[in-house]
Chain A
């Protein structure tokens, strides 16, 4: 009876399954804490928080915020580091993609991306701090023989007033992200055809790319860029390590107010957090304006007919810059790993006096404990995120509807600054008795993990050839069997990759861990940031190294597992 399944397929309507509720549930899991968090921050910003004695609305918190002597400096550092890093990351991404397309460097760079992408921000910042400091590695390499410095020069190469070092570190971390997003998007705009056409009209390779590919691919890059901008304008952990100290950036200033023993400052902090949100919103609006402006000016340039040269200089410049930035990030990690094995290592020695495993043998036990918390938390958050994302995608596919617009809300946590709603969300978890619980902690991580898992998995899932699924259904498989026996095995690679991405995002979380965990849960990241402030660099090295290792191991597993599982099925590898 070969026809039965087909008929069944057509006649039997899908049962109303609990699956239909997954997208709704996912959105609720997101919107409730963010909405409650924002409102819970806005109300105290205007003086209302009965628990702390604020029972009437007033503008006093704003007056105190705006009159604070630290605010102008903090805003300047925030804007310089936020816009500086985003512009730099964007320029490097586009410049490199345009100038180095198809070269050896292009293929090599893509290999360096994944590790840098996986490593938490704090670890990168710690490494860069030691590379760039006046008594740091780069000057140790050159001193005193080349520089003549017998003592470290008294120049603020890190923690500088405007946050330039912070901007550089942020760009190191964000360029790989943007580049990866760009590589993904290039496949969807027929860039080879566009290039071939332009080249045949006599345009140089770089000019051809900028004139024909960039305008087509930019819309797909927009959301990632906004996310990068929002993140850079409000980052805390990296700013604590590399940012200015007197005054710090706005986000750090707000963070300090929220932690001040003087509870009246919570109101000022709430106003500051709201200002932080405004800064991000205005920042994104400003970028959008810049887009329009560039588009207008660019149109004339595009149509102007200038062919451009061979692009050889551009190729060297941009490849060189990109590799310099990527190398900076990776070298910082390696140098911190070296520190964890160092005996004495003082200025101006470029190499430790001796190497030993003493630090590791002393630190391994406490570090393992913290590592376990980090691992469990990451697995829980990434696993949960995977379940929800699979549920959403499966529901989307079975109902046959285009992805609902509401799912865009999933990206909200990437655009709303953490410090702008975590305080309010904490008030919420305290009032339902969840504050400081593992549940609250996983939930808070989920907010940031899920968007990335979705981002990583949605495209491969939607692109899977529907004929496989139809064939399976024709052979009598239920939707669940299709999911379990066909889709999952075929998509094992992207599924594991998305999980690894989610895991890496969880490992990197700093502020959510502090707020939701009530200080009770230490992860490798919170420890590394706390230690970076002044502890023995050898121990900082241990934590920075482990912090980088965990996500890298997850990525290695995500690549290795399918290869091993399907070692006899080449097409699935």
Chain B
């Protein structure tokens, strides 16, 4: 028996004893060099929302690159809702599974991250070990460190930037609404031509939050946790009044809702609605290139600002291959992978990197990316509104369900 294996065995025994005693020691975080060595031959089960085949194709490409460069296998477990994977990790913890988890890497942000962090379901902090993290624009893009008001504390690695926007068919919409009020007016003037995905789909929940930030009397309250049911009712009252007015003018009279953002984009392409929601400013161009939206599709935002956030990858505490997951997370932040991702012909998801920290050759990768016909130039994207604290989102989803899922 080699020394290494006996150490591993001892660790395993220790872990078993610790598990039976209920005292879960956090697993040690290897250095990146150690992680690369250990990653060879490992398999990373990457639990990522699988509702968009362009993103799936990009993850396939990442898998090929990782296999070639590090000899590891990346398997995407396509989720319909990230919460499924969070629930699975939680169930595994409840069942005492501490190192044989079914999730190695998870695409995450917001309330799912907050829930996993809160319940000690995350491995790390590991992000500081990743060499490419030094290239991330943590000053210019503060949401790479603060996820929906919750500090990331090195438990999740930034992957991409999202900013809420609307995709519309310019053949059918002449003047685009400039704020929530105008949107409701437009919907009333064009009954049946607008809708939003049913929360808890993240696109639908984001729509609610966007409206709430605009209509709440004191939007700063949203940056802190919900204090009480009474406070929640008071702060959100304008939102529900707004929805009462909006819903009868929606697609299917607000009695049927699309199940997801992509479902609504398909309705836009089918001509059933004229406006869809998006989280990636480059998405409309990307979908035109993929033949999934008409050439006349364009993007608009509210000039006063729309919600922006960062999406991340994290490693569950009981991942089977945390080393390979670290290597994968690092590669996702690499200039090559980030530039590939930003190309609207691939995905159109904005980078988390600070371009001035890259080499000239790496900067050239980004300079070559075509912007696409439907993408707004950066100066017309409007200010970024910060995500509310996750407790607001959970409460909003619950209240929405109580009011409209009947």
Task: Return the chain B residue nearest A73 by Cβ.
Answer: B406
A83-91, A239-247, A293-301 - interface stretch: A239-247
Q: Complex: how many Å from CA A72 to CA B406?
A: 7
Contact check, A530 vs B87: say whether CB atoms are below 8 A apart: no
Interface presence of A102 (CB below 8 A): no
Contact check, B270 vs A536: say whether CB atoms are below 8 A apart: no
By a CB distance below 8 angstroms, the chain A residues around B261 are: 534
By a CB distance below 8 angstroms, the chain B residues around A534 are: 51, 258-266
Q: Which of B39-66 contact A (CB under 8 A)?
A: 45, 47, 50-53, 56-57, 60
Which of A154, A160, A245 sits near B259, CB closer than 8 Å?
A245
Query: In terms of DSSP, what is the predominant structure of the interface of chain A?
Result: loop
Smallest CB separation, A190 vs chain B (Å): 51
Contact check, B270 vs A246: say whether CB atoms are below 8 A apart: no
Smallest CB separation, B43 vs chain A (Å): 11
Contact check, B198 vs A245: say whether CB atoms are below 8 A apart: yes
Interface presence of B102 (CB below 8 A): yes
Contact check, A533 vs B260: say whether CB atoms are below 8 A apart: yes
Task: Return the chain B residue nearest A154 by Cβ.
Answer: B192
By a CB distance below 8 angstroms, the chain B residues around A431 are: 95
- A 142-180 binary contact with B (CB < 8 Å = 1; else 0): 000000000110101001110000000000000000000
Contact check, A259 vs B83: say whether CB atoms are below 8 A apart: yes
Interface presence of A410 (CB below 8 A): no
> How many contacts between A and B, using CB within 8 angstroms?
134
Contact check, B265 vs A70: say whether CB atoms are below 8 A apart: no
Q: Which of A343-399 contact B (CB under 8 A)?
A: 343-344, 346-348, 362, 366
A496-504, A515-523, A560-568 - interface stretch: A515-523
Contact check, B85 vs A519: say whether CB atoms are below 8 A apart: yes
By a CB distance below 8 angstroms, the chain B residues around A156 are: 252, 255-256
Which of A160, A263, A430 sits near B90, CB closer than 8 Å?
A263
By a CB distance below 8 angstroms, the chain A residues around B402 are: 69
Interface presence of B115 (CB below 8 A): yes
Interface presence of A537 (CB below 8 A): yes
Interface presence of B271 (CB below 8 A): yes
Given contacts A246-B257, A530-B51, contact A261 B102 (CB under 8 A): no
Contact check, B401 vs A70: say whether CB atoms are below 8 A apart: yes
Task: Return the chain B residue nearest A247 by Cβ.
Answer: B405
Contact check, B88 vs A518: say whether CB atoms are below 8 A apart: yes
Which of B51, B94, B251, B259 sits near A52, CB closer than 8 Å?
B94
Task: Return the chain A residue nearest B87 by Cβ.
Answer: A261
Which of B53, B102, B112, B264 sits near A536, CB closer than 8 Å?
B53
Contact check, B401 vs A69: say whether CB atoms are below 8 A apart: yes
Which of A133, A154, A522 sits near B78, CB closer than 8 Å?
A522
Residues of chain B touching chain A, judged by Cβ–Cβ distance below 8 Å, are: 45, 47, 50-53, 56-57, 60, 75, 77-81, 83-88, 90-91, 94-95, 102, 112, 115, 191-192, 198, 251-253, 255-267, 269-272, 290-292, 294, 401-406
Inter-chain pairs besides A69-B405, A259-B87, 14 sampled, C-beta below 8 Å: A154-B191, A245-B198, A246-B405, A260-B83, A261-B86, A518-B88, A534-B51, A534-B260, A534-B262, A534-B263, A535-B53, A536-B53, A536-B292, A537-B266
25 pairs of residues in contact across A and B, judged by CB atoms under 8 Å: A51-B91, A51-B94, A69-B406, A135-B270, A151-B271, A151-B272, A156-B255, A156-B256, A160-B256, A161-B255, A246-B255, A246-B256, A260-B83, A261-B83, A261-B115, A343-B291, A347-B272, A519-B47, A519-B88, A530-B78, A530-B80, A534-B258, A534-B261, A536-B53, A536-B290
